[in-house]
Homo-oligomer: A and B are copies of this chain.
Amino acid sequence: MLPIRIISTGKALPAEKISSSELDLRLNKTSGFVKKKSGVDYRYFSSVNDFQSDLAAAALRDAINAAQIHSSSIDLLLSTSAVPDQALPSMACRIMQAAGLPAGISAFDINASCLGFMAGLQLAATLLNSGTYRRIAIVSAEIPSRGLDWSDPESSLIFGDGAAAAIVEIGSETVGCQAYRMETYPEGKTYCEILAGGTRCNPTSGMKDSDFLFHMDGKKVFKLASKLMEGFLDRLFEPLGYNYHEVDLVVPHQASYLSMQHMSRRLGLPQSAIIDIYHSHGNQVSASIPTALHEAMVTGRLTEGAKVLLVGTAAGLTLGGMVLTV
């Protein structure tokens, strides 16, 4: 057990709420097409002038307010977005001022695609327990709407923008991370990609507008993830002496309608044990897990002693899982 306590969570959404029927009109589709294809009722989109780092800062301020702490008590900021707002400097540096964090604290980025927040939470637990820091803020913000290929329904209609944050401290003998596991299978590294954003596609090496768009081979992702997930969960729970059927709450990555539907069956758990915000947010990339965690927090479902499973897949292809007692 690695003691860690989530003292608060926060979230932020951009102003524009877009229903699937509005998207039908925009994309010149027949009524009901987007809802049927995506399973999303509505999602939120940023305007082209919004900064991703401001969205992150709003979520972070929400978490700071909820915790009723002074922002100067935070000594590390981890930014865990999959895609940054710009290549340099790190997003964490760009979030600090807007979130009201004091100059001089430590701040850097973690990138584990859709599982960045979970990786950040595990790192925070080890850093708190090593005594390096005392109170850590973790924030994921994503604006996938800037890089969607609207000609490809499978990899565009499911996404929504947003940000969410958590503030964590050291836990106790009964409050913390019971188990954590992350496994990457690079045979899937081309299944979800954005080719631009770094040295591969730029004005010097050559680029085209489509290099900036997210591309996914959903069938291959689903097939590989399905093949690996059961064994992965067995390995995650192996040291615990109980099975994943016995957790109280599941906070999954809100990957797709199909993945959310399969979650209950795969884990052998009632739908009521699974935080499902997919229909009202879409897939928010790395912001999905903390936004779902925030939903669990504000609806009073993180009850004392509850065993909570965070689980999901990410581009890479990566599988990640964490068992927390809260």
Contact = CB atoms under 8 A, between A and B. Distances in A.
A220 interface: no
Interface string A179-196: 011111111010011111
A23 interface: no
Contacts of A112: 90, 108-109
A201 B147 contact: no
Contacts of A97: 186, 189
A198 B106 contact: no
A73 interface: no
Interface of A: 2, 48, 51-52, 82-90, 92-94, 96-97, 103-113, 115-116, 119, 122-123, 125-127, 129-130, 132, 143, 145-147, 180-187, 189, 192-206, 209, 212, 214, 314-318
B203 A212 contact: yes
Nearest to A316: B93
A191 B240 CA distance: 49
Contacts of A186: 93-94, 96-97, 103
A104 B143 CA distance: 29
Nearest to A195: B86
Given A103-B185, A105-B184, A113-B88, A203 B209 contact: yes
Nearest to A314: B89
B143 A199 contact: yes
* Nearest 4 Cβ contacts at the A-B interface: A87-B197, A89-B315, A108-B112, A93-B316
A107 B197 contact: no
Given A93-B189, A123-B126, A146-B204, 11 more contacts: A84-B87, A85-B198, A87-B198, A88-B192, A93-B186, A106-B183, A107-B316, A108-B116, A196-B202, A203-B209, A203-B212
Contacts of A84: 87, 111, 197-199
B126 A201 contact: no
A202 B147 contact: yes
A239 to B, nearest CB: 11
Nearest to A103: B185
A302 B180 CA distance: 35
B199 A85 contact: yes
20 contacts: A48-B204, A82-B88, A83-B88, A84-B198, A85-B200, A88-B193, A90-B113, A93-B316, A96-B186, A103-B187, A104-B183, A107-B182, A108-B111, A108-B182, A109-B109, A126-B129, A132-B180, A146-B204, A146-B205, A203-B212
